[in-house]
Amino acid sequence: KFEYSIEIASDIDEEHHYIPPMLAQPFIENAIEHGIIHLSSKGFINIRFSLSEPNIILEVEDNGVGIEKSAEFNSKKREEHKSLAKRITTERLRNLRRAYGRPIKMETIDLTKTSETGTRGTLVRFSIPLIVK
């Protein structure tokens, strides 16, 4: 079981600012299938949109087991698992860069590994050039 939230900053104009569709979907799916599924407690996924001109920042954060621990769980399985999310998204970002002439940046952070406060999970952050419809 998990809860989720979607936060859209008030300075983002949903009618005029373009955000490429389905950009976050593979990472939301990964958060559930590879992070939250291994928790004994309730999981959460937080999806945030904020404006940091000249970019829109899209973040998908979960409190799952983190990238490194998830890889350990997957390595123990008999079948070889290869996540296509990152590869598919990289190709989509390349196509969007060609279409709009500006790059969309993506970074993935293992919060479990980088946190000194005991925070766990994964954060995927996109920096999307502000495209006005």
Please name each of the domains of the chain with its CATH number. 2-8+19-132 (3.30.565.10)
pTM, rounded to two decimals: 0.84
> Per-residue b/e over 56-79, b at no fewer than 16 CB within 10 Å?
bbbbbbbbbbbbebbeeeeeeeee
Q: Give the other-Cβ count within 10 Å of 24's Cβ.
A: 21
pLDDT tens, position by position, for the chain (133 residues)?
A: 899 999 999 999 888 888 888 888 989 998 998 889 888 899 999 999 999 988 999 999 999 888 888 777 777 664 555 567 778 888 888 998 898 888 889 999 988 877 676 778 999 999 998 877 7
Residue type, 47: I
